[in-house]
Amino acid sequence: MNKKNSLQCLSIAELYSKFGILVILLIALIAGAILSPAFLVPSNLVSVAQNVGVYAIIALGMTRVLIGGGVDLSAGSNVAMCSVIVAAVYNSTGSTLLGVLLALVAGSCIGAVNGFFASYLELMPFIVTLATQMTVRGLAYLVSGGAPVFGVSDSLVFLGQGNIGGFPMMLLVVILATIFISFVMTRTSHGRYLYAIGGNPEAAGASGINVKQQRFINYVTMGTICALAGIIYAGRTNSGLPAGAVNFEFEAIIGTVLGGTSMAGGIGNPVCSIIGVFVVGIINNVMNLCSVNAFWQQVVKGIVIMVAVVLDIFTRNAIMKSTKKR
Amino acid sequence: MRNISKSFPGVKALDGVDLRVEQGTVHAIMGENGAGKSTLMKVLFGQYTPDEGEIFLEGKPVQLKSVKDAVNHGISMIYQELSPIKELSIAENIFVGRYPMTAAHIIDWKKMYTSCQEIFDRWGLSYDPQTKIKMLKTADIQMIEIIKAISFNAKLVIMDEPSSSISQKEVEKLFDFIRALKKEGITTIIITHKLDEVFTVADQVTVLRDGKYIGSNRIGELDRASLIKMMVGREMNNLFPKKDAGYGAPLLEVRGLNNGSRVQDVSFTLHKGEILGFAGIVGAGRTETMRALFGLDPHSSGEVIMDGKPIQIKHVRDAIKNDIVMATESRKDDGLVLCRSVEENIMLPSLYRRSKGGILNLKENRRVAEEASHKLEVKTSSMDTMANFLSGGNQQKLILCKWLLMNPKVLILDEPTRGIDVGAKWEIYNIITGLAKQGVGIILVSSEMEEIINLSDRVLVMCEGRINGCLEKGEVTQEKIMNLASEVQV
């Protein structure tokens, strides 16, 4: 009896981690349409996409990090620093390409620092990335001289704000990046290794996987992805904001967990994470359209986080329980 | 205790066991690994509720539904793995959960320390109640646990292999203390593997085997040989596939492998097509030896020679590169990624060989995984099923699958049939002997005597981190293994 129950529980959990977020997206869309006539309008949906684009890019990296059994709290700071680099390099040299390359290198280096401490020195990723969160924020201020750096090239502005025949560039970037990350996670050995490592690092190690190296690569990639997000962020805001992108890592984590990725590792899917991020974006948008008081918006957001965490525990527990039965 | 039975899914752990312990004596419980000793004690301590049977305490029937019930009836248990709260003091550990309180409901530290000191004085122990537990050695912590047990007014103290992790000298100290308890009229039940200890400290011994009661005797009426006979004298059933005796040329040679006290100077040779059994009691260092050989644990010294060439194994991937693979002891801990699919688990070690520039051919992968799982008859609804949903036997086959895909020359199996049913065991035995026929060298670590005796070409017996003896196929008997496993030969 018991076993059957836990199996049923597990299949629900499994179903949720696969398709649940689609149902939630549907509910959010319907609820939005009912609550505000201005919601289900192309121009509004485009603005939702543009609002969550940066979160979505970060969420792709965050999904990988969470699947691998880690977490990255330095993402927001990294985005801010990279946006500052892009803007500062453009303003002093006039080169977009140089700024983009430097930002990608810098972002990856931050990832490498996280990876070195969290993977090779086996420190807790939470603490390591909390430390880099502060350090990198400080670096962003140092690079910018404390003030925002205004102005980036037109091509970046086009990337962050433009559209092709009404289709936002930002969304195009998100879709391409999602396809790429999905490919990596399902069709490369590196992706399979990350799932295995997050699911059971001992078993992965005992199967001959270089666990530390794979985790390190994961953090470095996360840094690169944050740099990409930073470049887009610079285009979107037309500036490098050292005080910007605060808490973006949490926006990404909320969307990712809502999308069924487990905080405990081993389970998750980049596509679902992106949908999760959009659901959060839709909730925000609908509340704005209904002119919900800003303080109430915060309360609702907190509740959404709680729901996401409960769902995470629910999924994980169901799996753990049926594990213990054996 | 009368007629105690307890079943776990797939296993009958206890089958009508009787136990009669006289007040004020030291009673030893003996038996092989998996004989049901610990289960019986957990029933007595209220951790498991028996399916059948009654427990009598001082002549009266009692119901022990929880540990709390057992403690209230004056029963205490000291586990093999001690779990003190390391950051707290001795006194706090003894009084945890029942701190003496002042009138204002604040912990009465003074009273706690003095009453703790009183207990120590009474038993002639020289510990300072304020010392933190983490400063103490294992043997001392054990003593504290016993004191804690007695301080609950325990009349019956159960000790699960108390001597397994402490030195010889400390064991003597422990036994002196047990004798002191006896003088006070406190009864002790001691689970042990070691024959010498039984003859030193126990008054009476009860032997269990395969969850059944075998016999109970006063120590004076027994000698070593008859005790061993009681422990192992089981009928052999013919549940083993036949394998031609004999093996080929030397394949793997291990010389002087060391890792701390668990692996000491281990040397052996494995031949092509040989099944080399490793016997010994739990904790004899067999698993540790294999982990060191496979690169899961470091080894401080030792040479490994494969096909005549010395090789270096620092990581698991070094071992795999040299075609040495190991199916680890625990499916859950380091055998499988339970939250991932059957296919992913099967393919995990061989992905790097099958990917081109890191990119996988999903169709090819699926085909290979399906083929491998069909070969070993893994029962699963699909390749995408989570490994977690498979039964123990099928999970074990999954582990074999993933390693057989690597075409190993040396296959190390650590307890390959633990906790799986008879049918699945038979299938796994067939797989093992089949591989040996193909020339794979197989190291079989197992605590199941039958398995070791019937499958192995040679049996190495380990004891306290050393290889204690080697038995050839014809001469292996349970008695010989038990003798070698329970005492270090000089």
Our CA-based measurement puts residue A219 at a distance from the nearest CA of chain B, in whole angstroms, of: 18
Instruction: Give the mean model confidence (pLDDT) for residues A278-306.
Output: 91
Report which listed range, A8-12, A196-200, A264-268, B333-337, is most confident: A196-200
pLDDT at A16: 63
- Whether B334 sits inside 8 A of A202 (CB atoms) is yes
CA distance B202 to B155: 17
Nearest to A254 by CA among A228, A274, A232: A274
Measure CB to CB from residue B316 to each of A14, A187, A206 and give the nearest one. Answer: A206
CA distance B227 to B192: 13
pLDDT at A4: 42
Strand pairing category for A163-164 and A167-168: antiparallel
Q: How confident is the model at residue A6 (pLDDT cuts 50, 70, 90)?
A: very low
- The larger pLDDT score, comparing residue A87 to residue B215, is at A87
- The larger pLDDT score, comparing residue A171 to residue B36, is at A171
A-chain residues near B402 (CB < 8 A): 207
pLDDT at A2: 41
Looking at chain B, the whole-number percentage of residues with pLDDT higher than 90 is 27
Nearest to A286 by CA among A20, A79, A44: A44
Instruction: Give the mean model confidence (pLDDT) for residues B253-257.
Output: 93
A-chain residues near B317 (CB < 8 A): 208-210
B-chain residues near A195 (CB < 8 A): 337, 340, 344
Looking at chain A, the whole-number percentage of residues with pLDDT higher than 70 is 90
Phi and psi angles of residue A139, each rounded to the nearest 5 degrees, phi first: -60, -40
pLDDT at B458: 92
Tell me the residues of chain A between 291 and 320 that have a Cβ less than 8 Å away from chain B.
Answer: 319
Q: Tokens 């982990």, residue?
A: B291
Q: How confident is the model at residue A59 (pLDDT cuts 50, 70, 90)?
A: very high
Sign, CA dihedral B293-B297-B302-B304, equals positive
Sequence-distant (≥ 6) Cβ neighbours of residue B383 within 8 angstroms: B341, B342, B343, B366, B369, B370, B373
Q: Tokens 């006539």, residue?
A: A37
Q: Which of A295-299, B4-8, B133-137, B291-295 has the lowest mean pLDDT?
A: B4-8
Q: Residue B4 pLDDT more than 70?
A: no
pLDDT at A316: 63
Q: Residue B235 pLDDT more than 90?
A: no
- The larger pLDDT score, comparing residue B223 to residue A15, is at B223
pLDDT at A97: 96
pLDDT at A5: 45
| Residue in A12, A182, A197, A207 to test binding to B, most B beta-carbons within 10 Å | A207
| Token couple for B27 | 């009673």
pLDDT at A86: 96
pLDDT in tens, B451-477: 888 889 999 999 888 898 899 888 888
Residue B137: helix, strand or coil by DSSP?
A: coil
- The larger pLDDT score, comparing residue B213 to residue A114, is at A114
Report which listed range, A206-215, B28-37, B195-204, is most confident: A206-215
| Token couple for B11 | 């296993």
| Token couple for B464 | 């306290």
ipTM of the complex: 0.86
pTM: 0.80
pLDDT in tens, B12-58: 677 778 888 888 888 888 877 667 787 888 888 888 877 777 788 87
Q: For B462, how many CA atoms within 13 A lie in the half-sphere containing its CB?
A: 30
Our CA-based measurement puts residue A14 at a distance from the nearest CA of chain B, in whole angstroms, of: 10
Q: How confident is the model at residue B355 (pLDDT cuts 50, 70, 90)?
A: confident
- The larger pLDDT score, comparing residue A157 to residue B224, is at A157
Sheet with B250-259, side-by-side order of all strands: B263-271, B250-259, B301-306, B309-311
CA distance A48 to B183: 81
- The larger pLDDT score, comparing residue B335 to residue B228, is at B335
Sign, CA dihedral A140-A143-A146-A147, equals negative
Q: How confident is the model at residue A73 (pLDDT cuts 50, 70, 90)?
A: very high
A-chain residues near B287 (CB < 8 A): none
| Token couple for B238 | 């013919």
pLDDT in tens, A123-147: 999 999 999 999 999 999 999 999 9
Quick check: B379 and B391 in contact, CB under 8 A? Answer: yes
Quick check: A119 and A212 in contact, CB under 8 A? Answer: yes
Considering only alpha carbons, which residue of chain A is nearest residue B328? A206
Q: How confident is the model at residue B332 (pLDDT cuts 50, 70, 90)?
A: confident
Measure CB to CB from residue B362 to each of A187, A196, A210 and give the nearest one. Answer: A187
pLDDT at B12: 64
Q: Residue A298 pLDDT more than 50?
A: yes
Tell me the average pLDDT of chain A.
90
Q: How confident is the model at residue A291 (pLDDT cuts 50, 70, 90)?
A: very high
pLDDT at A83: 97
- The larger pLDDT score, comparing residue B283 to residue A212, is at A212
Measure CB to CB from residue A326 to each of B326, B349, B392 and give the nearest one. Answer: B392
For B72, counting Cβ atoms within 10 Å of its Cβ (0-12 exposed, 13-18 middle, 19+ buried), the class is: middle
Our CA-based measurement puts residue B227 at a distance from the nearest CA of chain A, in whole angstroms, of: 35
pLDDT at B404: 93
pLDDT at B159: 87
Report which listed range, A68-72, B26-30, B203-207, B462-466, is most confident: A68-72
- Whether A188 sits inside 8 A of B358 (CB atoms) is yes
CA distance B297 to A130: 32
CA distance A26 to A22: 6
Considering only alpha carbons, which residue of chain A is nearest residue B313? A208
Q: How confident is the model at residue B489 (pLDDT cuts 50, 70, 90)?
A: low
Tell me the average pLDDT of chain B.
84
The string of DSSP letters for B370-421 reads HHHHHHTT---S-TTSBGGGS-HHHHHHHHHHHHHTT--SEEEEESTTTT--
Q: Residue A8 pLDDT more than 60?
A: no
Q: Residue A234 pLDDT more than 60?
A: yes
Rounded to 10°, the helix A21-35/A270-289 angle is 20
- Whether B348 sits inside 8 A of A192 (CB atoms) is yes
Q: What is the dihedral of CA B252, B255, B258, B264, to 10 degrees?
A: 110
Sequence-distant (≥ 6) Cβ neighbours of residue A60 within 8 angstroms: A177, A178, A181, A225, A270, A273, A274
pLDDT in tens, B159-183: 888 876 677 777 888 888 888 888 8
CATH number for the region A9-325 comes to 1.10.3470
Domain boundaries, chain A: 9-325
- Whether B340 sits inside 8 A of A195 (CB atoms) is yes
Report which listed range, A284-298, B139-153, B172-186, is most confident: A284-298
Nearest to B37 by CA among B155, B163, B194, B212: B212
Q: To 5 degrees, how large is the angle CA A24–CA A28–CA A30?
A: 115
pLDDT at B330: 82
Q: Residue A323 pLDDT more than 50?
A: no
Considering only alpha carbons, which residue of chain A is nearest residue B357? A188
A-chain residues near B329 (CB < 8 A): none
Instruction: Give the mean model confidence (pLDDT) for residues A239-251.
Output: 95
Q: Residue B11 pLDDT more than 60?
A: no
pLDDT at A182: 96
Nearest to B125 by CA among B159, B93, B148, B155: B148
Nearest to B29 by CA among B165, B221, B213, B200: B213
